[in-house]
Amino acid sequence: MMSQDMEVTLRKSLDEVDRIRRRQIVGFAVVLLLFLVQAGILIFKPNRLRVDADLRAALTWNAELMVYTVGFCTFGVCFFITRMTSKILKAIELSSKT
């Protein structure tokens, strides 16, 4: 059997993991929205630079793609770590009940 203090600590840890997951989902939605807005701006923005429009668009698109690829991969790693942490804490909770 698990002591009352350990059970409270485990429950707080599980709740914190759930809160972090919700924040990550909101953050992912915000980054995705910003990506879509920037892509729209790239498509409809007037040409302000004195370079070929296709070159400017390609350079801008590649830079944005690089930044968002790193961001999305970071979110993926965060989701994985959160999921594994939750599973470990739930396994501890189950093993203490037996």
Per-residue pLDDT of the chain (98 residues; tens, 9 = 90+): 557 777 787 778 878 888 888 898 898 889 888 888 877 776 776 655 566 777 777 777 787 888 888 888 888 898 888 888 888 877 777 777 76
What's the confidence (pLDDT) of residue 54? Answer: 74
Residues 57 and 42: beta-carbon distance below 8 Å: yes
Give CA–CA dist 31/34, Å, rounded.
5
pLDDT value of position 47: 58
pTM confidence score:
0.56
Question: Where are the domains positioned within the chain?
Answer: 10-97
For 1, the token pair is 């059997």
53, burial (CB in 10 Å: exposed 0-12, middle 13-18, buried 19+): exposed
Cβ contacts of residue 72 below 8 Å, gap of 6+? Answer: 31
C-alpha triplet 56, 38, 19: angle, nearest 5°: 145
pLDDT in the model for residue 49: 52
Please list, in sequence order, all residues whose beta carbon lies within 8 angstroms of the beta carbon of residue 38, skipping any fewer than 6 positions away. 64
Residue 46 is given by DSSP the state -
